[in-house]
C-alpha cells in the first residue's frame, strides 16, 4: 500500500525506499522530517503551477538536499549544497541511473539555496527549491489548504524547527566559512558566529592583482 501524505503519494520504488532508509541513518530526525516536507510541498507546488516532475527524481532531490550539512562528501572544502548533490549523484550512479537523471538531481540540490535561477529550470529543480522555500521561509504557505498543511506537519512535525534548523545550519557551515562567500549561507554565519564577516565582492575586486 502506497504512503500518502496530504494527498501526495510517495513513489513506490526500490530507490525511494532505500533513500528513505539511508536518510534516516545519515541525517538527524530534524533534517529527515524537513526533507520529507520539502518533497510534499514540492508536489503541491507542482499541482498549483501545472508542472509534471518525475516523482522519483523530485523525492531523491528533496531527501538528499541537506545531507551535506552533516556529512561532507569528501575531504574537499566545498559548499554544503555541493556535498549533498555529490551524495545524491553517487547514490544514483551506484544504482544504475542514467547520468542525465543523476545530473537533474545534482543540479536541484546544488542550486536549492540560489535565488532567482531554479524556477527557470526543469520541474524537479524548480520544485525542490520551492519546497525548501515553503518549509523554511513560508513561501506561498497561504496558497495551500490549511488541513493539508496540518496533515503534513502531523506526519512530519516541525517542533522547534526554526531554531533547531538554524543551529544545524551553523554547525554545518562554521568549520568552512569561506564556502559561504557570495551565498545566502553567509547571512547565517554573520548572525550567529561572533567575529565572522563575509568578504564582499567589492573587496575582492579592489584587491585583485590588476593595476587598475
Contacts from 98-102 at CB under 8 Å and sequence distance 24+?
101/54, 101/57
Q: Is residue 74 part of a domain?
A: yes
3-state secondary structure of 147: helix
Residues 9, 105, 102, 32: is their CA dihedral positive or negative? negative
Query: Using DSSP, how many helices (H) and how many strands (E) does the chain show?
Result: 11, 2
Q: What is the pLDDT of residues 182-208, one digit of tens each?
A: 899 999 999 999 999 988 899 999 999
114 domain-assigned: yes
Q: Provide the whole-model pTM.
A: 0.96
Residue 194 lies inside a defined structural domain of this protein? no
| pLDDT recorded at residue 2 | 81
The domain tally of the chain equals 1
206 found inside a domain: no
Q: Is residue 36 part of a domain?
A: yes
The predicted-structure confidence for 50-103, as pLDDT tens digits, reads as follows: 999 999 999 999 999 999 999 999 989 999 999 999 999 999 999 999 999 999
Which residue range(s) make up the domain with 150? Answer: 4-158
How far apart, in whole angstroms, are the C-alpha atoms of residue 147 and residue 76? 44
pLDDT attached to residue 99: 98
Among 182, 177, 179, which Cα is nearest to 200's? 182
* CATH code assigned at 51: 1.10.3210
Count of residues in the chain:
212
Kindly state whether residue 111 falls inside one of the protein's structural domains.
yes
| Residue recorded with cell 525506499 | 17
Mean pLDDT for the stretch of residues 11-29: 95
Strand-pair partners of 5: 8
Judged against a pLDDT cut of 90, whether residue 1 lies above it is answered with no
pLDDT digits (tens, 9 = 90+) for 25-55: 999 999 999 999 999 999 999 999 999 999 9
The pLDDT of 5-14, averaged and rounded, is 97
Residue 190, in any domain of the structure: no
- Looking up cell 514540492 gives 42
pLDDT tens figures, 133-184: 999 999 999 999 999 999 999 999 999 999 999 999 999 999 999 999 989 9
- Cα separation, 180 vs 188, whole angstroms: 9
Q: Is residue 166 part of a domain?
A: no
State the cell numbers at 17. Answer: 525506499
Amino acid at each position: 500500500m502506497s504512503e500518502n501524505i496530504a494527498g501526495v503519494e510517495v513513489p513506490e520504488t526500490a530507490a525511494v525506499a532505500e533513500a528513505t532508509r539511508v536518510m534516516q541513518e545519515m541525517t538527524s530526525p530534524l533534517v529527515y522530517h524537513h526533507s520529507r516536507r520539502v518533497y510534499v510541498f514540492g508536489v503541491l507546488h507542482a499541482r498549483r503551477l501545472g508542472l509534471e516532475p518525475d516523482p522519483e527524481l523530485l523525492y531523491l532531490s528533496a531527501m538528499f538536499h541537506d545531507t551535506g550539512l552533516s556529512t561532507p562528501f569528501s575531504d574537499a572544502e566545498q559548499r554544503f549544497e555541493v556535498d549533498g548533490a555529490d551524495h545524491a549523484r553517487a547514490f544514483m550512479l551506484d544504482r544504475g541511473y542514467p547520468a542525465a537523471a543523476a545530473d537533474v538531481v545534482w543540479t536541484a540540490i546544488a542550486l536549492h539555496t540560489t535565488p532567482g535561477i531554479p524556477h527557470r529550470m526543469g520541474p524537479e529543480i524548480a520544485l525542490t527549491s520551492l519546497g525548501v522555500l515553503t518549509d523554511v521561509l513560508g513561501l506561498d504557505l497561504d496558497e495551500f489548504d490549511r488541513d493539508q498543511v496540518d496533515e503534513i506537519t502531523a506526519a512530519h512535525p516541525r517542533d522547534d524547527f526554526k531554531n533547531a534548523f538554524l543551529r544545524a545550519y551553523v554547525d554545518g557551515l562554521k568549520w568552512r566559512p569561506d564556502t559561504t562567500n557570495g551565498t545566502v549561507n553567509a547571512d547565517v554565519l554573520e548572525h550567529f558566529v561572533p567575529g565572522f564577516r563575509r568578504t564582499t565582492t567589492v573587496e575582492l575586486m579592489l584587491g585583485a592583482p590588476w593595476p587598475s
